[in-house]
Structure 1
């Protein structure tokens, strides 16, 4: 079945000019219809040169001061060469920048589109200038959103969009961060006893969800990253997980032919999404068991596809991000825990690290954030030095599990160890 392609709206050509790289002003002030103006040209990164004129000044002195102010703004990257309406800006940012440059997944595109066009542009006048938007307007837009999951997503959309606008000289001041601080709600955070209960109950009643849940709680991965993990991504000797991809649907509908429309291997959300995360010994143990199960199912099922996914179905295919939602809600209810999204488990992970005095920088790296700004906006400020998280994560694992000896669900033979672990690791087993 053919999928409807994404139709991009037309946008102004000036969006494609790039950033201002140089400028040239006329030395003289020009009289225009009884008023005065200054003339100049801007050169953009694409090589396009655009002549401009700013006028309407009553005197030459007034025009000269305005010219000097414009030059100062160009040097400080606060000069705004073109004005755009909110709709013009969001059309470009979502359909051209986020799709073409950021290569967002289809799921992310749909989520962002919903927030922008069903909330923001229904609260704000789409034809108002983006330069006219102030903090109170942002807060009004946020106040129109009642559902917590949509509200949290809106923070991401607003910060990304308005930061882009500020960096590319479409607005002078970014009003978003102060508005979000005024509006921000607490994320649901699980305690250590609640985490322990959740994992144990999951292992007993929803075994297929246990490995994804364990990895989310102990690595802070996004669900799209968890389902993309392969056994080849695990460094058994170093006890590290190499995050290099996520699964999702692309905006170009790749994968339709092989029935993997929603489980395409795509790049991580950002460049910093490619990261190495330390694994606790217990997590390694559980992954060894998962690998043994993988090989057992592979041998017993002729239809099994050997794709190497850690979180796999009976036929070897991976899960998609929506498969675990219903089971997760049921698990929370069985444990008498508050309602939350799977994504909220990332905040629990980061909070545990924060409470163990891990630096803001280290938490940011582990979570795959572009910088400490996002992490800092969600959690309190911490020292800026970075150091190894492995010890704390190991303690985290110890804390959330019962104080009993771990017993494998299946027996691991010497042959299994030789196949699953590098020889160097096997030789260290006493």
Structure 2
């Protein structure tokens, strides 16, 4: 049985934890600092109940930063190097400075909620806050599995929500104006693919000729170029990102023209050409630096006199254009490599009201024809 005793103006308890199997000695836990006898009795009762059920374990004294870094050593083996770099940056620059010196067992929903609120007050985007939240959650889930915690305190934290930003896309007229100007540039194929296939930038810059089936008019996304342009990554951003995309005839023709242009580069440079089998590359065959692609893209936007949108918005333009033409969201989801159709519907919900109106008009047309 445990004991409750007074010490000066406060109370403490001594709990019996049973026999240590390694030493054969009786284990006890002493905790001080309770303001009233009732508080001490309540805390003792909780521990005694856990001991009786066989679920009690000593709270870890390890600091959160030490546990976090230990978890990251394991985690980085299951994620690609770009994601690992992002995780490390958030851990070193954001999480450890604020939460690192708190004991793992002392983390609570209250101090974690305060931390998340601070991140938002500093102006971080909700998506960035969520990434940091997920890192902490992953580390605490691991602590739970290792029986260092009773529960994961961050699961009770409320994440901030931003109003959905209005998506920037080009109209069909703007697409035509831009492509007309871009056609003169050697990087035209990158912009053409972004608009006609919805591929991500890294997917376009990692695309190889062997990934294209010209007979069937199908392109396969099997490789991407890293954000810094220094490394090829097998697969795509997600599992569902490894996919096939049916190509329009115009895109097949543009690809054949691109292949002919690259063959000319090879012949003119001979031994100086470094062949990576890339569809979009430098004049020497080496991978195209994403920043150089961006510079060219912005320059062409000014020349075409169209609204400035991000390169990634060409992907949104592709999806919006297809939805407006009544193409199934399921088909668009597959072209974009989304993990499920819900992602597609949530991302492009702004287009759906127009589609609803069109659906109603089609019903009217059918019923009128029937009458």
Regarding TM over 0.5, the answer is yes
2:254 corresponding residue in structure 1:
286
What pairs with 1:175-186 in structure 2 (closer than 5 Å)?
A: 179-182=159-162, 184-186=164-166
Matches within 5 A, 1:157-172: 157-158=131-132, 160-161=134-135, 164=138, 168=142, 169=144, 171=152
Residue of structure 2 in register with 1:275 after alignment: 243
For residues 176 and 52 of structure 2, what CA distance do their matches in structure 1 show? 64
> Is 1:188 the equivalent of 2:168?
yes
User: Which has the larger share of helix?
Assistant: 2
For the residue of structure 2 that corresponds to 1:277, the secondary structure is: strand
Match of 1:352 among 299, 303, 321: 321
Alpha-carbon spacing, 1:35–1:112, altered in 2? closer, same or farther (3 Å): closer
C-alpha contact 2:274 2:285 (8 A) present in aligned 1:
yes
For residues 17-56 of structure 1, the aligned pairs below 5 Å read 31=2, 34-35=14-15
Contact 1:227 1:246 in 2 (8 A): yes
Instruction: Give the SS at the match of 1:179.
Output: coil
The whole-number CA distance in structure 1 between the counterparts of 2:196 and 2:15 is 67
Q: 1:225 to 1:172 in 2, by over 3 A?
A: same
* Structure 1 residue 119: Cα displacement: 5.3
Q: 1:164 to 1:354 in 2, by over 3 A?
A: farther
The correspondence for 1:239, drawn from 217, 225, 229, is 217
Q: TM-score, normalised by structure 1?
A: 0.58
Structure 1: how far apart are the matches of 2:222 and 2:172? 29
> Is the CA contact (8 Å cut-off) linking 1:230 and 1:308 kept in structure 2?
yes
Q: Kindly state the Cα deviation for residue 224 of structure 1 after the two structures are TM-superposed.
A: 1.5
Structure 1 residue aligned with 2:41: 58
Match for residue 207 of structure 2? Answer: 229
- Of the three residues 176, 181, 184, the one matched with 1:201 is 181
Matches within 5 A, 1:402-413: none
* d(CA) in 2 for partners of 1:86, 1:330: 48
Summarize deviations over 1:173-204 as a string: whole Å, max 9, x none: 5478x635335534433333322222222223
* 1:272–1:87 CA distance, 2 compared to 1 (3 A): farther
Cα gap change, 1:37 to 1:157, in 2 (>3 Å)? same
Alignment RMSD (CA, Å) = 4.6
TM-score with structure 2 setting the length: 0.65
Kindly name which structure, 1 or 2, has the bigger radius of gyration based on alpha carbons: 2
Please give the alpha-carbon distance, in whole angstroms, between the structure 2 residues aligned to 1:166 and 1:31: 31
**Conserved? CA contact 1:359–1:382, under 8 Å:** no
How many Å apart are 1:271 and its aligned residue? 2.5
Shift of 1:310: 0.6
- Structure 2 runs not aligned, ≥5 long: 4-12, 20-26, 32-39, 145-150, 353-371
